[in-house]
Amino acid sequence: MLTLNDIKMGEHVVVTKLHGDGPLRKRILEMGINKKTEITLIKVAPLGDPIEIRIKGYNLSLRKDEAKNIEVSY
């Protein structure tokens, strides 16, 4: 399973499935990460976590713990 954590900087992917449950998953959905949403990995923070992604024309930061629930494909 390929997740957002396996992506290299600058790479472009599409969301295929969102794992996890409860309010956190709902939040991720509502911030715009849905099935078929395109994501670009902009950067990783200087200490290795969190990451910065670009979705729907804005930049969002999430931790690797959250990113591992986002299944993607190229």
Where on the chain is the footprint of other proteins (CB under 8 A)? Answer: 18, 23-32, 34-35, 37, 43, 45-50, 52, 56-63, 65-66
Smallest distance from other proteins to CB 6, Å: 18
Strand partners, 13: 39
Q: Which is nearer to other proteins, 7 or 69 (CB)?
A: 69
- Of 1, 13, 7, whose CA–CA distance to 74 is shortest? 13
Please name the residues in contact with 34: beta carbons below 8 A apart, sequence gap of 6 or more: 15, 18
Q: Which is nearer to other proteins, 47 or 74 (CB)?
A: 47
